[in-house]
Amino acid sequence: MATTYLTRVFGTPTNGKKFTFSAWMKKGTLSGDQAFFSTGNSSDPITTFRWNSDGKIYLFYLSGSSMVWEFATNSLYRDCYGWYNVVIAFDSTESSAGDRLKLWVNGEQITTWSTQVNPALDMTPTMNTAVRHDLGTNGPGGNYFTGLMSHVHFVDGTAYPASTFGSTDATTGNWKINTAPTVTYGNNGFFLLKNDASLTDQSGEGNNFTLGGGTLTKTEDNPSNVFATINILDNFYNGLTLTNGNTSWVSGSPYSVTRSTLGASSGKYYFEMKVVNEGNTDYEFGIVGAAGTSTSSWMGKADSYGYAYESNAKLRANGTAVDPWGSTYDDGDILGCAFDLDNNKIYFSKNGSWQQSGDPSAGSNGYTIAAAADTTAGAYFVGAGDFSGSSGQSGQFNFGNGYFGTTQISSAGTNASNNGLFEYDVPTGYTALSTKGLNE
């Protein structure tokens, strides 16, 4: 969401002492406090649910300088790849103080806290009263949530358990989404971001939200099919700034390299990247198996198992330059990569044209790469970066979400796997690097 947030002024509640909030969220960064649901302006009594900068979930009701109630988890939530289902049930009519606020994360109820100040019996917080409510910020205008949200439910008048919104998969043991929970939403209840970026309430209560700021974009990435992004924890040499759900990057120091959250050891995959700032003909785009250990290593260097299409019309493979190779590229060009880990081949395209007369669909003229089992990581990941030590270069990946940054692709190409949206045609037999794609 970055600086995007949604807002609505609630009406008279069915019961201001009881409510349930449930959302699936994918974190974008680990830095800063990030509010995902809050009420009121900064000078008002506020109720806030947020991810703390230390990784904890922090829930509180603040009136003036007095903390009326507050909860902070012992657990730290530092995953920027997977989705979290957070369910918060509030019922101040409960006789037991410890039952007045309950929290579940991916179906597991939190029973111990690093901070626990319980609500008073029969008290009414600002949440679920006739005040402003915001998704994705606190205040508003600060502590923005930088990740993704999906299937956001708010129930007025009932405290539901997490089992209403999800269940444990009998085969995998993972917590999975209930896409159509049976609930009574109440006067202020809503259901947002069901399958798209619409601000229309899907609960039937007509409690639509408005866009308070930023740009709201649809993502194919969802709790049932997680797409690759750039891995904020696998950001070599600390040279990259990541935005837009960790799909956009800017180089800030020499020899920057980035890898994706998902890697593969078999199968056929396709992804794209738009060049925003190419810099000084030292731009690289491709796949990488493992990182080097020195600051002079880049993704095409020998100790990185890297295969990179360079902007100076070269292919660099484990430190060896194939020169000349393909066409030069510059700002605004869209690069494609198809890598075949069943036959150990890689192909690159520029603006839809495969370079060196390659044809991934036919399996012809691909560059031979080492088997994934030979890499240190035992898999290949998506990579990009620079190799001459400059800074300020940037790019925007499309792993199948259909966007470069916040700009939607101009026209979707054909995709036989129906997994992801790309600017250009996906080669026959190839799919997106996502959990669904890995299991095809």
Residue ranges per domain, the chain?
Answer: 5-213, 230-438
Q: Do domains 5-213 and 230-438 have the same CATH topology?
A: yes
pLDDT in tens, 368-412: 999 998 887 789 988 877 666 566 788 999 999 999 998 999 989
**Read out DSSP for 290-347?**
S--SSTT--TTSGGGTEEEEETTTEEEETTEEESS-S----TT-EEEEEEETTTTEEE
> Do the beta carbons of residue 369 and residue 300 sit within 8 Å?
no
Instruction: Answer for the pair 113, 73: CB distance below 8 angstroms, yes or no.
Output: yes
Class of domain 230-438: mainly beta
Is the pLDDT at 238 greater than 60, yes or no? no
Whole-prediction pTM value?
A: 0.87
Burial 152-179 (b: 16+ CB within 10 A, else e): bbbbbbbbbebebbbeeeeeeeebbbbe
pLDDT at 1: 47
Q: Looking at the domain that runs over 5-213, which CATH code has it been given?
A: 2.60.120.200
Distance (Å, whole) CA 342 – CA 395: 28
Look at residues 396, 395, 411, 401 and name the one whose alpha carbon lies nearest to residue 432.
401
pLDDT reading at 294 higher than 50? no
Assess contact for 47 and 63: CB atoms under 8 A: no
> What is the spatial distance between Cα 381 and Cα 234, in angstroms, rounded to a whole number?
11
Which residue carries 């240190």 as its tokens?
376
Percent of all residues in the chain with a pLDDT value above 70, rounded to a whole number: 91
pLDDT of 35 over the 50 cut:
yes
Does 195 score more than 50 pLDDT?
A: yes
pLDDT score of 323 more than 70: yes
Give me the residues paired with residue 225 across strands. Answer: 222
Q: C-alpha angle with apex 240: 340 to 231, nearest 5 degrees?
A: 50
Instruction: Give the start-end residues of each E strand in 169-282.
Output: 175-177, 190-192, 210-213, 230-236, 240-243, 248-251, 257-264, 268-277
- List the strands of the sheet with 380-386, edge to edge: 230-236, 257-264, 380-386, 283-288, 306-310, 314-317, 320-322
> How high is the pLDDT of residue 390?
62
Instruction: Say whether pLDDT at 293 is over 80.
Output: no
Q: What is the pLDDT of residue 297?
A: 58
- 121-164 tens-digit pLDDT: 999 999 999 999 999 998 767 899 999 999 999 999 999 999 99
Look at residue 256 in the predicted model and tell me its pLDDT: 65
Q: How confident is the model at residue 246 (pLDDT cuts 50, 70, 90)?
A: confident
What pLDDT does residue 392 have? Answer: 77
Mean pLDDT of the chain: 90
d(CA 167, CA 162): 8
209-227 confidence digits (pLDDT tens): 999 998 888 889 999 899 9
- Residue 190: beta bridge partners? 154
Three-class SS state of 78: coil
- Which H or E element spans position 437? helix 435-438
